[in-house]
Amino acid sequence: MVLRVVCVALAVLAAGAEGADVYPSKPIRFVVAFPPGGGTDLVARTVAPRLAERLAQQVVVDNRPGAGGNLGTEIVAKSAPDGYTMLMGSVGPLAINASLFARMPFDPLKDLAPVTLAASTPNVLVVHPSLPVTTVRELIALARARPGAINFASSGQGTPAQLAGELFNSMAGVKMVHVPYKGAAPALADLLGGQVQVMFSTMPPALPHVTAGRLRALAVASLRRSPAAPELPTLDETALPGFEATTWHGVMVPAGTPSAIVAKLHDDIVAVLRTPEIAERLSSQGAEAIGNTPEEFASYIRRETAKWAKVVRESGAKLE
C-alpha cells in the first residue's frame, strides 16, 4: 500500500514537471505602450491573431499609453520573466527616451530582452507645394540660403518626427525651425494649410495627400526604397549618405526570460511575419516586415540609442 502511494506521488510529480515544460499553458499579454490605432498598435494587432494560432493560446493586446511610451514599457520591464508578458516596443521608449527624459523608470538595454525587430515604417519627407523645391538637394540649398526661415512640423517635442528633422538639420548643415504640435494630425493639417513648410511624416497619412497634389514628397527616410512608394528615392541615395529615421516596432520580453521561451517566441513571430498575407497587410499600412534574430535586434537598438542620443544632445530637446 505504501509502495503504491509513493508510486502515485511520483507519477503526479512527474506529470507536474512535464506540464511545467509546456509553454505556453495560458494566455499571453501583449502590451502596447501607445493608444489604439497608432502604428505600434496596428503592428501588434496584425501579428497577434496569427501568433495565437501558432501558440494555441490567446494573445491579448493590452494598450497602456503614457509618458511617451515609458508607462507601458515599464510594465513589461517589471513583469515576471516567464514568457506571459510581451511588449510591442518602438523606437521612442527603446532608443530615444533615455536621452530625452531626466529620469527613466527602466533601462531598455538591461531590463528588457529583445525577441525580434518586427516591422519598420519609413518616414517620408514632405513639403507644402508653395515651397519652391522638388528634390532634397534643392531643399538643402534653400535652407542654407534662408537660415531660420523654413519651419518643420512634428507631432510633439521629443517625438521621432522632431528628431528626424533635427537629424536632417545636423547632417545637412542647415537650420530649419521646429514647430511642435499635440499630435501628428494637427501637424499635418497645418502643413496642408501652409502654416508650416516641411514635415517628416509616417507614410500612411501623408501619401494620399501626395497623390492628390496637396503635398510634395521629396524622399523616404529609410536606407532602402519603400515598397509603398518605390518611385521615391531615399535621403541616403539623394543627398545625405547614411540618413535613416524610421519608426520601428519590435517585440521585447522582461530580462531573465528563459532562452528557450525567447527562442520559441522568436521562431513563431518570425514565421508569422514571413506569411505573405501578414507581410502584405503590413505593407498596405506603409510598414515593412523584418523578423531578425534577438542578437541582431539588440545590436540595432544599441546603434539607434547612440545615434539618437547625439541628435537629442545637439538639438537640446528635453522632456520631464
Task: Output the CA torsion sign for 109, 115, 117, 118.
Answer: negative
Q: Compute the distance between CA of residue 259 and CA of residue 257 in angstroms, rounded to an integer.
A: 6
Shared domain check, 130 and 268: no
Shared domain check, 156 and 216: yes
Boundary (domain end) residue, out of 208, 238, 268: 238
Shared domain check, 228 and 135: yes
Going by C-alpha positions, the residue among 134, 124, 129 that lies closest to residue 228 is 124
What CATH code is carried by the domain that includes residue 302?
Answer: 3.40.190.150
Residue 251 lies in a domain: yes
Boundary (domain end) residue, out of 219, 238, 257: 238
pLDDT in tens, 197-227: 999 998 888 889 999 999 999 999 999 998 8
In the three-class reduction of DSSP (H, G, I as helix; E, B as strand; rest coil), residue 120 is classed as strand
**Least-confidence region, from 19-23, 62-66, 206-210, 309-313:** 19-23
Shared domain check, 104 and 153: no
Inter-residue contact 45 to 62 (CB < 8 Å): no
Residue 46 lies in a domain: yes
Going by C-alpha positions, the residue among 288, 243, 226, 211 that lies closest to residue 136 is 243
Boundary (domain end) residue, out of 181, 205, 238: 238
What CATH code is carried by the domain that includes residue 232?
Answer: 3.40.190.10
Model-level pTM greater than 0.85?
A: no
Domain carrying residue 132: 122-238
Amino acid in the structure at residue 198: V
pLDDT in tens, 70-95: 999 999 999 999 999 999 999 999 99
Residue 3 lies in a domain: no
What H or E segment, with its residue span, contains residue 20? helix 2-20
Residue 12 lies in a domain: no
